[in-house]
Chains A and B, each alone.
Chain A
Amino acid sequence: MRENFMHVNNPGDSSLAVVPEDDAPNKMIVEHLDFFYGANQALFDISLNIPLHQVMALIGPSGCGKSTFLRTLNRLNETIPATRMKGRVLLDGRDIYQDFDDPAQVRTQVGMVFQKSNPFPKSIFDNVAYGLRVNGIKDKDLIAQVVEESLVRAALWDEVKDKLDHSAMALSGGQQQRLCIARALAIRPEVILMDEPASALDPLSTTKIEDLIGVLKQNYTIVIVTHNMQQAARVSDRTAFFFEGRLIEEGLTREIFTRPKKKKTEDYITGRFG
């Protein structure tokens, strides 16, 4: 079946680098992850490999734990009181909960873009420069250079290059979200987590974000939570289906969407629930 899929995608040329392969190296590996909010268990024994320079989509109905899972990948869940977790999350083979001195170090390598665009009430420039400054970079020329480069990569440079000192709050919703992507790119992460990055945007802005994801995956490993099944199908190489805190099924996106192995996955994808 996989041959069939590859054939469809890359007729006559199986050497293309973009082929999503099961044997692609894994950027992150999650092993037997349990997560609790107080006494409530939100995630049950999740094991998942996140391959390098691919887009992994996490889908599932509301409250299935996909956002919680995403936030365990950069230790952001720790900031919520009375939570605890079991299991391991590896980044390039290093346990992000054990082998790093502090969560901030993990987060410079695993960046994040949120559902609601959340620029700081500062200038456009200062928003993008924030991550550099909190990580101790003081060289003004370097900061200016990285800010420009990040805005270019986030496909926002042309729209804002003449008003970098304006407040970020004056940008449109779609621009704000691309600014948040630029801000995440500025600290040069290796993995980018996206929590429904386009759910609050109009269709045109959504298309821009999706196009951007397609470009970014050449250099970054991307994990995206989405409610929008078409979006998952459009942007991702692999898809993981979560239901009631459990990982039901994970595989190549094309296979998940055309011939899911589990009945639950099929029911969800065909719109029988969710």
Chain B
Amino acid sequence: MTIGEPRSSSATASLQFARKTTGAIPRTLTLVAVVLILAILAVLLGSIVLGGIGTVSWEFISQPPEQGMEAGGIFPAIFGTVALVLLMVIAVVPVGVLVAIYLQEYTRPDSPSTRLIRVAINNLAGVPSIVFGLFGLGFFIAFVGGGIDSVFFPEDGPVWGQPAIIWAALTLALLTLPVVIVSTEEALRTIPREIKDASLALGGTKLQTIWRIIIPQAMPGILTGSILAISRGAGEVAPIMFTGAAYYLPYLPGKLTDQFMELGYHIYVMATQSPDVEATKPILFGTVLVLIILTLALNSVAIIIRSRMRKGRVHA
């Protein structure tokens, strides 16, 4: 008797496999989904471009609104949006990067406290944006701003304790903080341990290692986080409507305590508050088009910077 001899003939008989579903059905389903999405995007962008292209002109993007927003341009809103987003980036990136570095480099990844912080960050990302707006009003304007006023400007009217571009930017920064933290963490995770060890083994301190090796390596990831934050922040209306965006302002914001006009809020105002919706419609379309182009432009700048940084770098 040989060891490998089959016990019964059934082991050698051909098996009756169930017939497999052909590849055609899943392929069609997935393709339909893709086409559907592309079609919706095309209709959306197409109608915006068609409706807005006739309005967008140099005058439109360089002049303030006139005649109760039924004429004129949207320059103050463009200016306000760019200023708001830049302030937000200045606030959110350093804080987000510091949090990510703390989580990755200074805590044990699986400790209960680290997990708790991660859960908190994920929850922050899930909070509806209108809640951020109310929080900004209550915390930044009433508590922080009001506190500054009562200490430094008790005689004057509200200086810091009123809606302002700084509070709107900080509120947006809170909203976009999780995005920056998560993408920075992703970048930090890809840095090989050997490179950190090499820095330490050369007598570098932990701080020097973070500053000279880890942050430069993580820079593309940090910029990705900034790009995502810009995309998210530039389009949000709810967080800024209580915290600093103005219906109409005859001047541009010149200091942190000024209010500002913003494209998204401007669109909201024109669509809901205008006495003559039909008359503002071309301007509305034009404003939407400008907002989309502006968001793309802000993103492009960050993407170009990032690809410059990636050049010549090889991941070990």
Report the bound CA distance from A104 to B203 in whole Å: 4
Partner of B198, one of A103, A180, A187: A180
Interface size on B, residues (CB 8 A): 23
Mark A69-91 against chain B: 1 for CB-CB distance below 8 A, else 0. 00000101001011000000000
Instruction: List the interface of chain A (C-beta within 8 A of B).
Output: 74, 76, 79, 81-82, 102-105, 107-108, 111-112, 114, 116, 118-121, 130-131, 133-135, 167, 169, 180, 183-184, 187
* A-B pair number, CB within 8 angstroms: 78
In the assembled complex, 12 residue pairs joining A and B whose CB atoms fall closer than 8 Å, in A order, are A76-B197, A79-B196, A104-B204, A108-B203, A114-B198, A116-B316, A120-B198, A121-B316, A131-B203, A133-B212, A134-B203, A187-B203
Interface status of B243 (Cβ within 8 A of chain A): no
Cα–Cα distance between A103 and B108 once the two chains are bound (Å)? 20
| Interchain CB contact under 8 A, A76 and B314 | no
Contact of B205 among A104, A133, A184 (CB under 8 A): A104
Q: B217, A130: Cβ atoms under 8 Å? A: no
Write the B19-34 contact mask toward A (1 if CB under 8 angstroms, else 0).
0000000000000000
Residue B201 CB within 8 A of the other chain: yes
Q: Of A74, A119, A130, A184, which one neighbours B204 at CB under 8 angstroms?
A: A130
Chain B positions within 8 Å of A108 at CB level: 202-203
Q: Are B197's CB and A187's CB within 8 A?
A: no
Q: Is the interface of B mostly helix, strand, loop or mixed?
A: helix
A121, B213: Cα distance in complex, Å? 9
B43 CB–A CB distance under 8 Å: no
A130 nearest in chain B by CB position: B202
Q: Let me know if B312 is at the binding interface, CB within 8 A.
A: yes
Beta-carbon contact of B203 and A112 below 8 Å: no
Q: Is B194 an interface residue (CB 8 A)?
A: yes
- Whether a CB of chain A sits under 8 angstroms from the CB of B313 is yes
* Residue from the set B192, B198, B200 with the largest chain A CB neighbour count within 10 Å: B198
Q: Is the CB of B203 within 8 A of A167?
A: no
Q: How far is the CB of B201 from chain A (nearest CB, A)?
A: 4
Chain A residues within 8 Å of B198, by CB = 114, 118-120, 180, 183
Residue in B192, B194, B201, B203 whose CB lies within 8 Å of A105: B203
In the assembled complex, the Cα of A74 lies from the Cα of B313 at a distance in Å of 29
Across the interface, do B195 and A169 meet the contact criterion of CB distance under 8 Å?
no
A131 to B205, alpha carbons, bound, how many Å? 11
Collect the chain A residues with CB atoms within 8 Å of residue B231's CB: none
- Chain A neighbourhood of B280, CB < 8 A: none
Contact indicator A167/B314 (Cβ below 8 Å): yes
Q: Contact: A76 with B203, CB < 8 Å?
A: no
Q: How far apart sit A183 and B195, CA to CA, in the bound complex (Å)?
A: 13
